[in-house]
Structure 1
Amino acid sequence: MANQESLTGDETGPGGPAGDIVRSTLAILSADVVGYSRLTEIAEEDTHTRLRTLRVRTIDPCVVSFRGRIVKNTGDGLIASFDSPLDAVECAMHLQDEVATTERAQPGERRIRFRIGVNVDSTILDFGDVFGRGVNVAARLQELAPPDGIVVSKPVFDSIAPHTRIKAVDLGSIHLKNMAIPVRAYSVLGGQPDADPGARPLRRLKAKVPSIAVLPFRTEGRTSGSDYIGMGLANDLIVALQSVRGLLVIARSSTLPYKGRSVDRRRVSRELGVRYVLSGSVAVNKAKLRINASLADQETGTVIWADRYDGSTSDIFALQTRIATRILWSIAPHVREAELKRALRKRSESRNAYELMLQAVDAMYLMRSPEFPKARELLQDAMRADETYATSFAYAALWHIHNAAQGWATDLGSEAEEATRLALAAVERDPADGFALAVYGHTRALFFREYADAMLIFERALEASPGNAMAWTLSSGVYGYVGQGDEAVRRAEQGLRISPVDIQSYFYVMFLGQAHYLNDNFSEALIWSKKTYTLNPRLSANLRILAATLVALDRITEANLFAKAILSIQPDFRLETYSSRCPFSPILLKEFIDRLERAGLPR
C-alpha cells in the first residue's frame, strides 16, 4: 500500500495492541443504505435477500474491479479502502449507477438506495481492518449525502479534479458530528462532457467476469466431529480458485449460511448472483474417507463436471490440500471452456471485454495463421470495449512478445517497445495485478536484459499475487538467463504446480524445460521440451531449447530435425541476428548459439 509508516509500540508484532501500529494513506469509501430500518419493516426477508444479491453481483465485483478491498460489512452498509482516491470515486459512481439500474423495477418505497462518503487520510491498519479519523470522516460525509449521492472531502476532490471530467457542488466547511475541526466537502454530480478536454472521463466497466460459489461440503452419516473436513476443503478450494485469472470467487462469509443444509443450487445461484456453484459431500467410515464433488453451470442448468476421491483420515490436512488441488486442475478448464462457448454464441457486438479477451487468448495460443493475427484484433477490441481492464492490455503485450519470439516481427525494436508500453499500461490500470506485473517484468528481461529490474518487478508481482502461476513461471526465465539454474527450476516447477491445466499449459512446461537446460540438466530438459512439443509443435522458443538440448546430449541427427522445424516456421532465421536478441547472459549465450549451429541452423 502507498505511503506506509510504522509507529513502534512496546513490543514488535503484526499490529494490534502489543505490536507496531501500521499506518497507510488510503482513500476510504463509506456506503450506507438509505432508510434501512423502514425497508426491513416493510419487507424484512425480501430486503435482506436483495441487499445480499447486490453485494455479490454488484458491490463486491465493483470494489474489486477498482482495486479496492471491503474491510467492513456493517449489515446495512460497508467500508472499503483504496490506494487511489480516483479509484474510490469512480467505484462510488459506478456502484450508484448499477444499484439504481438494478433497483429500477422495484416500487419507489421499496428501492434499495445508498449514500456514499469518500475521504483520504493517513489510516491505521490493524489485522485487515481500518481505524482513525480518516475512516470517521468518510462515515460522517456519507451521512450528508443525498439518496444515490456521493459526498467527498476536499483532499479527495483536489486529487481527482485534474484527472477526470467531474462536476461537484462546494458544500463549504462543515462541522461533522463529534468532530471539532470542520471539513470542506463537495457533493459529486457526475461525469460531464463539457469539462477540461484534457481530462479523461470516468471509467465504466464492461469486463464481466464469471463468478463461482464454493459451498461447504456437507457431511454424510453421523461421524462425530467430521464437519471440519468439509469446511476445510471448501476453504482450500476458495483460496485455490482465487489464483485463477478472470474468475470472481464468492467469499467464505457469503457461503457459510449454507453449511449443513441440503440446498437447491439454483437458489444459491439466484441469491448469491453466481453462474457456477461447486458443491460436494464428505463420507467418513472409520479411517476411510470419500469425497464427492460437482460443478454446475446454473445459467444452463447442467452439471459440467463431477468426480469422486477416496483417501484416509490419517493425514487429513495433506489429503485436503491434495484434493483441493486436483479439483482446481479439473474444473478450471471446464469453466474456461463453458465461458468460451458462451462468448462464441453471442453476436460480436454484444461481447464484453472479458469475452473478447478469452477468444483472443484461445486464438493466440494456437500459434498459427490466420488465428494469431486475429488474436491481436480481438485484444484491440477488448481494450476499446473497456480501457480499464488490465488483463486485456497484459495479454496484448504477450501477443507482441510471442510475435517477436516466433520471429514474425518485421521490426523487433518496435515490437519490444509496443510490448513494454502495453505491459506498463496494464500495470498502471491495476498496480496490484500479479499477472500484469509479471508480463511487464518479462518484457524488461527479454527485450532489454534489465535482469535486476525485472527481478524486482517479479517480486512485486508475487507479493501482490502469491498464487499467480504466470508470475512464478515468467520469473523463472530471468533467473535462468543469469545462470541461477536451480532457482529457475524451482520457480518454473511452482508455476506449473499451481497452474490449472488449460490451453496455456505448454507455456508453463516450456519454461520448465528451459530452466532445466540452463541448469545443465539435459535429460530433464529433454523430457519437458518434448512434452511442450507434443502440446504445441510450433513454439519456436521451445524448438530452440529442444535442438540445443539434443546437441548437448550428442544426438545431432535428432537435433537436425528440430532445426528444420524452426526454419519451416522462420525461413529467414539466422543465428547472428537471433544472438543479438536472445536474453541469455553472455556466457550462456555463446554456448547456446554454438549448439544451435551444430544442430544445423545457419549462421
Structure 2
Amino acid sequence: MLIPCLYDIFRVIFQAVGGRQASMERKLAAILSADVVGYSRLMGADEDATLEALRSHREIIDALIGAHRGRVFNSAGDSVVAEFPSAVEASLCAVQIQQDMAQRNELVPLDKQLQFRIGIHIGDVVSEGGNLFGDGVNIADRVQKLAAAGGICVSRNVYDQLTSKVSFKLESMGEHRVKNIASPISVYRVLVGDASKPRPITSRLYALARRSSRVAAIGAVLLAVISSLAFWQWQRSGPARDGFPSVAVLAFQNFSGDPGLDSYGRVIAEDLTTAMSRFPDITVLSQNSSFGFDATDVSPGQDLKVDYIVEGSVQKKGSGLAINAQLTDVSTDAHVWAERYDGREASDLQDGAIGRIANALASEGGAIRRYEYKRTEGKDKTDFSEYDYFLSGHEIFARFASIEEHDRAGAIWREGLEKFPTSGLLRVSLAWYHFFRPWNFNTDKRAADYRRAGELAREALAEQNTSPRVQWSGRKLMAYIHWLEGNFERAVADAEAAVALAPYDADTLSFLSRVQAASGNTTRALEWVQESVRIEPTVQRTTRILAWIYYLTGEYEKSVEAAKKTSGTEPPVR
C-alpha cells in the first residue's frame, strides 16, 4: 500500500508543478519603475497630506500609463511598476509624468513636494497571474534608484531603442554595478528639460484610470495647483474670451484590442455631446463638427476653435471594461480633469458614465467652472468683463463658507451690475445672493431678502434675448420664490422649466425635487431624486430629500433608513 500511496503523492506534485509552469510565460517587456524620493520623511512630517497628494499624483500617473498602452502590474506604498509594449512608449510616458509632476509642484513648498524618480529597462520577464518577475523587473528598479528626484534613467537596452525616435536627449552616466545583478549596467540620464511638452491630444490621450471618488470630492487643492500655472500661461498666450466657454467632444478611442468595440467609443462621445449640450453654462460643438477629429490629430481644439477638449478611451479591465475620460484646456494643453469608470456590461457602463462625466465637467460645481475661476486671478478689476465679475463672485459664493464671505460675493456682483446695468447674468446671480442669505445663514431680514431675490430674478427673466444660463438660473430660483409665496402652481411650472433646460444636471433635479414634494407632487419629486442619484450618486442632499418624501408618503421605514444615510457633515442646503 505504501508504493501506490507514494505514487499518488508524486503524481499530484508533478501535476501541480506542471500546471504552474504551464501558466507561466516568458516574454520581452519594457518595464517602468517609479517611486517617491524621501517618502518616509514626508509621511513622518504629515501623513494625511502626503497620502492625499500621493493619491492625486497616482491618478495622473496611472492615467498616463494607460494612455501610452502601459499596464500597472505592481504598486505598493509609493512605488509603481508598469509594463509597456515598447521602450518608446515607456520613455514618452515617463517624460510626461515628470513634466506633469513638475507643473503640479510649482506652487507647492519644496519640503512638501512629491518628486518621483523613474527607471526604465527592456528585458526578459516571467508573467504569471498578471504579475511580472525576473531580471527585467529587477534591473528597472535598480536603474530607477540611480535617477535624481524628478529625473529619469534608462538602461543601454532602452537607449538603443530610442535613437532617432524621440525629441529629447540622453546623457551617459557610465556603467554601474547594482545589487544582485552580476554584470555592470550602462545607464543613461534623460534630459527632461530638452523634451518638448507633448500635446495631451497627440499623445493618444490621458485616458484616466481614475479611482473611486467623484468629481465633487476631487481635490480642489489639486485643481488649484494645476490651474494656477495654466492660467498664468493662458494670460500670456490664450485668446481673449468674455463669456462662457466652448467644448468639443472627440470620439473615444478603442484601446481594448477588440474590434467589436470600435463603434462603442463613438457612441459614448455622441451621448456625451448630447448630455453636455444640455448644460446652460457651456457651448458644445455639434457632433458633425467634432467627429472628424480624434486624439491623433495635431491640434483639434485649435482647429475646432473651442476652449476645451473632452477625449477618452475604452479599455478592457479583466472581465469588464473601463471608460477613461479627460478634459484639456486647448490654449495651454493643461490637463484639467480626468476620471475612469469601470463596469462589466458595456451598455450599463455607458449609461452610468455619461451622466457622471457630464456632471463632473459641466455642472455648477464641475471641473470647467472651477478651472474658469482662475481667469480673474491677478486681473485688474478695471479690465473685468461681465463674465469676469460673475466668476469672481461665484467662486466665493460656491464655498458657502460664512455670511461674511457670502456678502463679499454679493458685493462683487453688485459692483459688476453697476458697471454692466443690463446684465441678466449678474442680476440673477445677485438674486441668488439675496435668496441664500436667509436660506443658508438665517439672517434677520428674511422677508426683505426673499422679496429682493424675487424682484431681481423677475427683472432678469423679463429682459429680451436672455441666455439659457439666465433662463435656467432664473426659473430655478423662481420655483423657490413662488413656493415661499404659496403659489405652488407657478412654483411647479418654473421647476419643470428649469429641469427642461438642464435635464442631465443632477443638482438641479435634486434641488427642485423639494418644490415638487412641497407642492404635493411626491411621485414627481421621487422621480427627480431617483434620476439625480442615477446620474450622479454623490449629490449629498438626496438622502435628506428622500427621507422627507418618504415621510410625506407615509413610508416611514424608508424615511428612517434614508435619514440614517444623511451625512452630518453635508454642505449647506442649496
Please give the TM-score of this superposition, normalised by the length of structure 2: 0.50
Please give the TM-score of this superposition, normalised by the length of structure 1: 0.48
Higher relative contact order (CA closer than 8 Å, sequence separation 6+): 2
